[in-house]
Structure 1
């Protein structure tokens, strides 16, 4: 797996925090809190979600132990592909690379629709009116520009986006904590009995989905400083940051409305994603709900950019190894970015967007739901 001299990714350009936040951006913390968690409460095990997150976090840490052990021996932007090539041979590794490319593209295409649907509503309330595909088009082009340029530029944008996501959610969390919630700060929701109520299977799937993207720390191995140290630390740190954040936040979301009223309250909403924003309005008020809506759009943009980076780097390795045309295995002369994979992914995103917009399909119910299911299965 040699790398041609001039066709190298930008070495020593990403530190520990940059790698960590770039992969957390794919998990889209605010999107998970506002979009996925109300459904997890309603379709999963209700007040047992925080305990489920504790369990899933421990599982992810156990997986990470073996994963980072491999990363110390194989430094390659192909991640799973490179590990499979070393242990299982080229044919299996090639199949894994194709599955990864299809899955990450599907996740990215689906998120384009979700961003457009949410952005049209959020910006529409502020008087900025565009059809959903207009917002999606803007996002695709901006993501393409960032992906084409140096990776450290993308890193700065993604770090800022993720930090703001955490800040707005934690403001709501601590407001609920300081006011004691609806009926006190009950800890009994961490009881295993709560975890095994309702549908534990659905709950585990929603919780696992909140970690999607953390496995991509190894994709940045060739661009990280001291990758043998940075990648393992970033992997563990991202798992802990995602896990602890969701344990803490889901607990306080339950406390905010009361465990006994949790599921009925969400079921009564015309849109379950309004649950978090209602809590923000009740416990914080002011401009926070509006700011949270804007940050939800930026959260989706960060996730789009993260998956775009994954795709570009997998394409680069696939071109370098002969799985795709050799052009994919070349880097930009000035930016040292996998620019060919970036441009091709952007073109693919524009084509998918044009098809769904041209057919008049719903960006959330159709584009996001249909395509992202393929991505989730692949990951």
Structure 2
């Protein structure tokens, strides 16, 4: 093979498949990562129960608005930075390459935490179905391993195949959520009726508002992943913004409507107590009362598929982050290998699968509670990381356009990113102050400090690695954030 042929082959092996995804497919990836049914069954009831605050629906509306402001600058920058590394590439362009590397480390921590946290809940979600259908009760880790294998296999397939699987799972999931909402709305509590008090600011801005915001913000994790798939879309300049806005509107509206609908049959005055008594089962118990046990069982099945859809979406996101870092040699170049027939980032996908397997084995070996110690604790840790990423990226977008004036209108490049940055900093502060409530631990628990400290350690190590690359490998350092251009520059 000639040197030219070798360079061409290397470039191809480090390239994602192009023109595979349209707006609907990206929307399916984004909303699947948000896992609407999982959020409505689990997070909403947790927010009511843990905080005693009834303004949860209004919190979703406000958070949707804040993230909408963030999205203005975020998708505008997508026109100038097309990179599967998303947050990593944006912060590298806006705040400097060492900060970009630090962002990459935070992203890998956060998304892997969200992904493996789902293995902790899939067992408890699926076990009742095995008992009802087959009369068996397999250990949680057996169930987790089965879905881990399914996720890993799909991660090695064409991205549009994953998109089609997600489309079926997500459309069914959203349909059942809407059916549950309608059933709730048709059975108002005699004492309260159709009360809109949950949208009254006076019922949100009370002691505990910080905890509500901190719990609810994690529900939006994944909406930002549209940019991760920009290299595989048919028209990044159109597809990424449209998919982002559509997904955000759908998620915000669904969360706000469903969290309100849950209060209608119970009563606003009873929703906190009911959430504390029944937890995630509240949603399905109401469905059983209003629609019958068969529909409730279907809802339980779709609860499982909701978790699986989120696993697939996060797995694909993580694999592409690893791919992007390998392509630019921030990680070893082998991580940039793709599977030529499918275009999937094969090493990135396998790496995530190995990590997921290790977590399942460790938790099973030490007999740790998968729901508390894996899903709630590690999942909350991942949600905090995504919030940190959103905040840093919002500042980076503003900095990027301040250094690149005149390319877009002021609203997109200055005003919206500036407002979003301030609001996200406030939300991040609230999350940190109330992180004990998010985790469900005592205020003096070490976990509330150790877990956030892990991100700051990752930031420090990332900056140090970026500076080491600048000093020792200036060619690699110069390619940070360039995406596909990095491979082209190396091969030329």
Q: State the TM-score bracket (shorter-chain normalisation).
A: over 0.9
One of 15, 31, 43 as aligned partner of 1:24: 31
TM-score, normalised by the number of residues in structure 1: 0.95
Say which is worse superposed, 333-342 or 179-188, in terms of deviation. 179-188
**How many angstroms does 1:347 deviate by?**
1.3
2:187 and 2:265 in contact (8 A); partners too: no
User: What are the Cα deviations for residues 184-242 of structure 1, in whole angstroms up to 9, with x where unaligned?
Assistant: 22223222112224511111112211111101110000001101010011111111000
Alignment of 1:175-254 (within 5 A): 175-182=183-190, 183-254=192-263
Rounded to whole Å, the distance in 1 between the matches of 2:149 and 2:59 is: 38
Alignment of 1:101-120 (within 5 A): 101-120=108-127
Q: Check 1:264–1:198 CA distance in 2 against 1; reply closer, same or farther (3 A cut).
A: farther
Rounded to whole Å, the distance in 1 between the matches of 2:247 and 2:149 is: 28
User: What are the Cα deviations for residues 227-274 of structure 1, in whole angstroms up to 9, with x where unaligned?
Assistant: 1010011111111000000111111111121111111222333xx111
2:158 is the alignment partner of 1:147: no
Tell me what 2:169 maps to: 161
2:57 and 2:199 in contact (8 A); partners too: yes
Cα RMSD between the aligned structures? 1.7
**How many angstroms does 1:56 deviate by?**
1.1
Tell me what 2:433 maps to: none
Q: Check 1:105–1:154 CA distance in 2 against 1; reply closer, same or farther (3 A cut).
A: same
SS for the counterpart of 2:233 is coil
Q: Check 1:243–1:290 CA distance in 2 against 1; reply closer, same or farther (3 A cut).
A: same
SS for the counterpart of 2:217 is helix
Give ranges in structure 2 of 5+ residues lacking alignment.
Answer: 1-9, 387-492
Rounded to whole Å, the distance in 2 between the matches of 1:38 and 1:195 is: 15
Rounded to whole Å, the distance in 2 between the matches of 1:264 and 1:304 is: 31
2:125 is the alignment partner of 1:129: no
Q: Check 1:129–1:239 CA distance in 2 against 1; reply closer, same or farther (3 A cut).
A: same
Q: Check 1:230–1:149 CA distance in 2 against 1; reply closer, same or farther (3 A cut).
A: same
Give ranges in structure 1 of 5+ residues lacking alignment.
Answer: none
Number of residues of Structure 1 aligned to a counterpart in Structure 2: 376
1:120 and 1:132 in contact (8 A); partners too: yes
SS for the counterpart of 2:54 is helix
Rounded to whole Å, the distance in 1 between the matches of 2:248 and 2:106 is: 23
Alignment of 1:45-64 (within 5 A): 46-64=53-71
**How many angstroms does 1:181 deviate by?**
4.6
Tell me what 1:138 maps to: 146
**How many angstroms does 1:333 deviate by?**
1.4
Rounded to whole Å, the distance in 2 between the matches of 1:44 and 1:163 is: 31
Rg (Cα) greater in structure: 2
User: What are the Cα deviations for residues 329-350 of structure 1, in whole angstroms up to 9, with x where unaligned?
Assistant: 1211111110111011111111
TM-score, normalised by the number of residues in structure 2: 0.74
Tell me what 1:7 maps to: 14
Say which is worse superposed, 259-268 or 91-100, in terms of deviation. 259-268
**How many angstroms does 1:6 deviate by?**
4.3
Rounded to whole Å, the distance in 1 between the matches of 2:31 and 2:167 is: 9
2:327 is the alignment partner of 1:320: yes
One of 66, 76, 86 as aligned partner of 2:83: 76
1:46 and 1:262 in contact (8 A); partners too: no
Rounded to whole Å, the distance in 2 between the matches of 1:296 and 1:53 is: 21
Q: Check 1:252–1:369 CA distance in 2 against 1; reply closer, same or farther (3 A cut).
A: closer
Tell me what 2:283 maps to: 276
2:319 and 2:348 in contact (8 A); partners too: yes
Say which is worse superposed, 86-95 or 307-316, in terms of deviation. 86-95
2:381 is the alignment partner of 1:374: yes
2:394 is the alignment partner of 1:365: no
SS for the counterpart of 2:11 is coil
SS for the counterpart of 2:220 is coil
**How many angstroms does 1:85 deviate by?**
1.9
One of 339, 342, 349 as aligned partner of 1:332: 339
2:294 is the alignment partner of 1:306: no
Say which is worse superposed, 156-165 or 192-201, in terms of deviation. 192-201
Rounded to whole Å, the distance in 2 between the matches of 1:104 and 1:373 is: 11
1:26 and 1:307 in contact (8 A); partners too: yes
2:271 is the alignment partner of 1:262: yes
2:117 and 2:379 in contact (8 A); partners too: yes
Rounded to whole Å, the distance in 1 between the matches of 2:273 and 2:210 is: 20
